[in-house]
Structure 1
């Protein structure tokens, strides 16, 4: 008997008894909503959510769709964790360190001062203990996590005045994205401001901000920071490789079939790789445009780097003293980092150092 005859003659009770229900259930459409902490104009970061949504729809033949919403459409940029915790949405795209006000441990899901590079972060998360430790922590917030991509090592930001030494940081009003580096910068005398990227240009123009950091040349150029702050410093020692994350509502994810879970993971992997590659492709071209437009590109003085390192280690020590969970995750990350730095001495560092000295 074919399926149509079976359903017609037996009714739903007969279908269930005959074991045909799983095939019928498999046709049910799934509709999720994803809220981002970023505007649509950032095709790198926000684009990761769009790539995820498009890939998931293609993998499922249109049966699993995830609508994507920019910052402010469904909720404020920093409201996404509360929304997932309260089952308002199924997914978010965000930078975990935005939520260190809830718990400082969130920073390890994104970036910490003098932390891991993009590749090191990927290795720690997927083949070290990173993902396991972070998901154990995120479970308190009804979250499971997936990489959405990495910005790679960021720039040190835009400044209205030249930074000649660590003393020039005293009293500086600076937009910082969030996380433990705000505490480290505070030790250096910086007055940290946490605000969405879309509000920064006007604050710099009016002088209510003296400096800002965001990501790197491609995103920063889009936001126009070079027009209101001429000095562009590097490197962003507080973000050696900032991981953006897909936060997934744990209840919603657990309710998926094994097949649908696999599609979510696969779509996330495609989106994450695309974001990181996009940054590597677009940043050098944007940097050349910025320099041609009279941006003053400068390295941080060594005493700024040294002061930043000292302040950061003090911050880590303070948090370790208060939280055994923080200490466990931090020490695990540093142990992993030490092995990565050892390997890097013999591999990419030596190779890249040589390649910058020759003409290709």
Structure 2
């Protein structure tokens, strides 16, 4: 089956945290026989910060971020058996969702893939004319980056025919233990772009512990932090390319995951960083959110912090031996239950069950 996938970027993780999610899932689906074309706009300098070359398992189409480029790629939707619009493309999001409904064949599955479901749902509640609300009757299924039962219930309440979380996972071909790199030496490292709905939590869970432990070394990576004042013991790396993530995770004593506000509120939303860290056998400290036990066992496979004081206490008491034990336990759990092969199987089952229904309806 042919898939037309309209997303932010497959080739670049620059201001695009979903890149590794797309790569892991689509690589697995390609191995299951799907023929994938990924359409991404030339926007936000992503093409100047590519992490990978166009892969052999998907056709990559980079289009100009203008109306002519938009029309050119939407015209190709009619060739696909499954048409996917991911949220958060950043340009023409409304027109893309409207366009896949207009240009796809009547027998094609139409998918809205929401990689920020909690925030999207907040927007939908506030705006009756929101494009997702308007297009839901013409969408066959909503797949989400996470969110668990609260997100499923909310989407169904808006009239979604089907909503299913497809969680982040580990791609063991991309994320695995490597030798430490002195560039990433630290007691605690955090990787994430500076975003309005994350900054206050980074302040609480990362910068406050750094200020409380001036003798310890802290490391922050991601876009946008260069203008943010930091304690003297925090080193700012800027953008960290995906090929550097394994060393970034393996080298520090521990790495930190901080959920965005909406994801922390809803729960059941492990970020890509969670499974990247597990794949590298890193000791992960995460802020507390509902459902963490579904993915990693607290105190055995992950350390959970309710606030910055908990983070500081974890770092103060953590030994290299315990950090290594937690990291290797997380790796075993991820390989057993949380790889993109597991997630790809879920998507494949959904699509093969519902594609005949769509064809019959058409």
Same fold? TM cut 0.5: no
TM range (shorter): 0.3 to 0.5
Q: Look at both structures and tell me which one has the larger radius of gyration over its CA atoms.
A: 1
Structure possessing the higher relative contact order (Cα contacts under 8 Å, 6 or more residues apart)? 1
- TM-score of the aligned structures, taking structure 2 as reference length: 0.33
- TM-score of the aligned structures, taking structure 1 as reference length: 0.34
